[in-house]
Amino acid sequence: MASRPDLILASASPRRLALLNQIGIEPEHLVPAHVDETPEKGELPRRLAQRLADLKALTAQHKARQAGFADKALVLAADTVVAVGRRILPKAETMEEAADCLALLSGRAHRVYTGLTLLTPSGAKRQRLVETRIRFKRLSGKEIEAYLASAEWQDKAGGYAIQGIAGAFVVKLVGSYSAVVGLPLLETSALLTGEGYIVHTNWLNQATLTGV
């Protein structure tokens, strides 16, 4: 039986790595892909999410080729965009940006788009785009102030992290929770399995180790 290909995760995000670990995957290589995330003029949120996922994957693949370990490896990349209508919210870098995001999201619905790209050694590109709808409760001034003080918002799309304190703001979520965190696990597993990276292999190994 052919050996399973190596996996390169095009990210330095501990959240994405933890999500992969959750389903028994430990990438052979972590290759951060720093790209310009500025939306193009008139670019819609869903297109931005997929374009950036593609760009990150290609950037990581190029770096891996230069390092000599890309020839037989799959490259996985993802990008998450938070939007209200057509308005793309930033990855908050300042408290003011985060406050603006939270004020906009308070008491209303928004969408989170997560683009997923898998590049194969043969040059093929597999893509998925996952859309999740979320509604926040109406946030009081004190809640926003306290959340800003937590600093959890830093470098988070839309100025919040659903896996943290901001989980208490969510009234309703329709779609993929893991996609909002940063990596849609259902779609990731399907893409990898389709390219010969059998995800459940490690589940069997874990069962043996734990004596299940």
Report d(CA 165, CA 38) in Å as an integer: 27
For the chain, the structural domain boundaries read: 6-210
Q: Which residues are catalytic?
A: 79
**Chain segment 147-196, per-residue pLDDT in tens:** 999 999 999 999 999 999 999 999 999 999 999 999 999 999 999 999 98
Low-confidence ranges of the chain (pLDDT < 70): 1-2, 204-212
CATH domain 6-210 topology:
Maf protein (3.90.950)
